[in-house]
Structure 1
Amino acid sequence: MAGHRARRVVGAAPVVGAVVLSLLLAGCADGGDDRSEEPADAASRAASAASSLASEASDVLASATAEAGRRIEEITEGIDVRDDVRLGTPRTDGDGRVAVEVTARNTTGSAKSFVVQIHFTDPDGNLRDTVVVTVPDVPAGRSGRATARSTYGLSEDVRAKVARAVRY
């Protein structure tokens, strides 16, 4: 879509992948022979690492959500217009990322722009990613479109919902 600017907020998956990779490399790089280690000890270490990894992923997603909120709050003269924004059906693109069309309806008498925060959730409603997209310069009484795209690959069974929308 020509003319739109997307502000992306980093999701948790890239960090999770990096942490998993570093844990695997650390386990392989010590050069020691772990055959003497008890299976219970190895399982305990793996469980501890998995718990730490899940905590880090949760922290990264919370940070990304907070950053998206801060970007929207920077608009000082904006009006909440969540009811004027509609989303298409989420679809997975060739990169495995989820994209959804955002349509913002301008009900005012002059051109306005919109900033929309989209939450991508799993079927249980758990937040998987969040992005912010701008729909600029929508003429009075018309609708403008943009595409919100997840920051990383998500499963195909993802829902999209408007978390916040501001017209300015």
Structure 2
Amino acid sequence: MKRQIRVAAGLAAVLLGSAALAGCTSSGKTSGAATSAVGSAAESALASATAALGSAAASLGASAQAAASSALASVKGGLNVKGDVALGAATTGSDGKLSVPVTVTNHGSQAGKYTIQVNFDDASGNLLDATVVNVPDVAPGATAQATAHSNRSLNAPVTPVVANALRY
């Protein structure tokens, strides 16, 4: 996937460079018609490369979402308890990955284990990454701490969101 992103970015750079050169005459001056035609082609190529980059990022988010959904599907008889989970402020590690403190408060009458899906969304609400955090037995009325880590380096601004939380 990273290779696809690099190829798309490289293609955009080559096309833009070619567009700049194609509009030049042998005297070094630009030809108006050539500049216009090449400019349109470059804009189209850039738009295509940008779409490819967006598609690659969406594909990574979808892959992470599928893995998280699979982990949640393995929980049998869980109760949806998103209200039991609160997220703290995300911090970025030296590797570019995000860490988010997770606080779980068991509002139930019995001890329970928690499986929590945390999504990492961009400013437009698009899914960039997802991870699952497991919290062992939490007594009724008690609070437990955990940390959710993104699977890959993410650029700001990113908003962590509790997508699912199951108590079982």
TM-score by length of 1: 0.71
Question: Partners in 2 of 1:117 and 1:161 — Cα distance?
Answer: 8
2:102–2:148 contact (8 Å) kept in structure 1: yes
Q: Which whole-Å CA distance do the structure 2 matches of 1:56 and 1:68 have between them?
A: 19
Q: Tell me the percent identity.
A: 36
Per the alignment, residue 149 of structure 1 pairs with 149
Q: Count matched residues.
A: 149
Read off the aligned partner of 1:134 and give its amino acid letter.
Answer: N
Unpaired segments ≥5 residues, structure 2? 13-20, 23-33
Gap regions ≥5 residues in structure 1: 1-14, 28-34
Asked whether 1:68 is paired with 2:68, we answer yes
The residue that corresponds to 1:30 in the other structure is none
The structure with more radius of gyration: 2
- Which secondary structure does the structure 1 equivalent of 2:148 belong to? strand
Structure number with higher helix proportion: 2
The CA RMSD measured in Å over matched residues stands at: 3.0
Q: Is the 8 A contact 2:113 2:134 kept in 1?
A: yes
2:57/2:128 contact within 8 Å kept: no
Residue equivalent to 2:3: 18
Greater relative contact order, per chain length (Cα 8 Å cut-off, separation 6+)? 1
Shift of 1:26: 8.8
TM-score between both structures, scaled by the size of structure 2: 0.71
Runs of 4+ aligned residues of structure 1 deviating over 6 Å after TM superposition are 24-27
In 2, Cα distance between the equivalents of 1:50 and 1:123?
A: 17
Residues 1-40 of structure 1: CA distance to partner in whole angstroms, max 9, x if unpaired? xxxxxxxxxxxxxx2x32133457899xxxxxxx88x956
User: How many Å separate the matches in 2 of 1:112 and 1:125?
Assistant: 31
